[in-house]
Every structure is written in structure tokens, then in C-alpha cells.
Structure 1
Amino acid sequence: CGGLLKSSSGGIVTSPNYPSHYGNNEVCDWLITVPVGSRIQLTFDSFNVQYDHDFLNIYDGASACASPLRRLTGSHPVNITSTSNVMFLRFTSDEILTAQGFQLSY
């Protein structure tokens, strides 16, 4: 799961198996790149992950070493905007319960 997403017109990111439940012990990384001078806005169409155990971490740059923007869990996401043309997402799930996951647009 995951991948490199380059776009000038946006796209969609979903958790593994969405809209069915994602699996246990998932680690998925996405790198989103848009044209220089543009910013990335994430808008959540759906978000439901196991609260405080499964997470979508969003970073303002090209890797998990970049500045963290938000760590999302549960079912109440907020829209997020990058400061540059690059954003890194990492979804992780634990070994216990799963949920429907998420779909977002950028």
C-alpha cells in the first residue's frame, strides 16, 4: 500500500481495502507532490480508524522526518494544508482491531 503521487489536478488516497476494513499491522506511506508554488490541501471524505491505536500521520515535507502537521485517529478528522508542494502521509494499524479506514481528496 502507499506510493508516490504526482499530480497537477489532485487525486484520492484510500486506506488498504477501503471501503472494507483495513488489515492488522499495516504500514502505508504516501508521498504527494504537486507543482512548485502550489500547496496541498487534504479533504476527508470518510475517516474511521481505531481510536488511539491506529493513526494517519501527516508531515509537511517529503518524509516522516519532516515537521508533523497532524496525527489523526478515531473518526473526526480536520482538513489539512501543507506549506509547500510536498506532503508525506503514514498510516499505521496495530495488531488488534480494524475499522473501515479512510478516503481523502487532495
Structure 2
Amino acid sequence: GIFTSPGYPGDYPNNARCSWQISVNTGYVVAIRFTAFNLEGGFDCPWDYLEVYDGSSTAAPRLAKLCGSSARTIFTTGRNAFVVFRTDGSVTDSGFSANF
């Protein structure tokens, strides 16, 4: 499957709050690969960011918090992933496109 930031390939909006719950068949893990990634950057990603959790909610361990212009492929340990995208009230960019 594919998921993208709102408005992609145009700029994402300010104050966005998005989440995706990804599940694959039993016996498989989720691999999230980014084909494009451009978010507002900054140390520890305080403004705009994408988080990936190793389970079906934010209660699961966080695997990554990403921003800026580089993103790595992320693998879960089980069949579920939960992805959260948040933006603040200023500065937008072209966002991301990912597949799994």
C-alpha cells in the first residue's frame, strides 16, 4: 500500500494531525519505505514530524521520529505499525510518500 502526507506532492498544511494503522498478514513484518521525504527539520524534530510505532497504537514502542529531508526504511518486529504525522502552525514543505 501507499500513504502520503495531506496534499502531496504539494505542501502539507499547518496544524495537521494524521495517523495510519498498518497491518499485514500474520507471519510478516511491516517495512515502510519512503520514496520522498521533506519535512521542516530541527534537532529532535520539534515542529513537523512523522513517528512510527512498533504496534497498533502510540502505546507501542516508538521506532522512529523523522523530520528534515532524510528518512530510512523502517521495519517493525510484528505485523502492525502505527504512523503519526504532526505539523505545527508555521513552515510547510512537500511532505512524504511512503509504501509498505
Matches within 5 A, 1:12-51: 12-51=2-41
Report % sequence identity.
39
Q: What TM-score do the two structures reach when normalised by structure 1?
A: 0.89
Matches within 5 A, 1:14-93: 14-52=4-42, 53-93=47-87
Q: Offset of 1:51 from its aligned partner?
A: 0.6
What are the ranges of 5 or more consecutive residues in structure 2 without an aligned counterpart?
none
Aligned length: 96
Q: Offset of 1:65 from its aligned partner?
A: 1.0
Query: SS of the counterpart of 1:17?
Result: coil
What are the ranges of 5 or more consecutive residues in structure 1 without an aligned counterpart?
1-10
Q: Where does structure 1 differ by over 3 angstroms across 4 or more consecutive aligned residues? A: none
Q: CA RMSD in A?
A: 0.5
List per-residue Cα deviations over 1:25-76 (Å, max 9, x = no partner).
0010100001111101011100000113200000000001110000000001
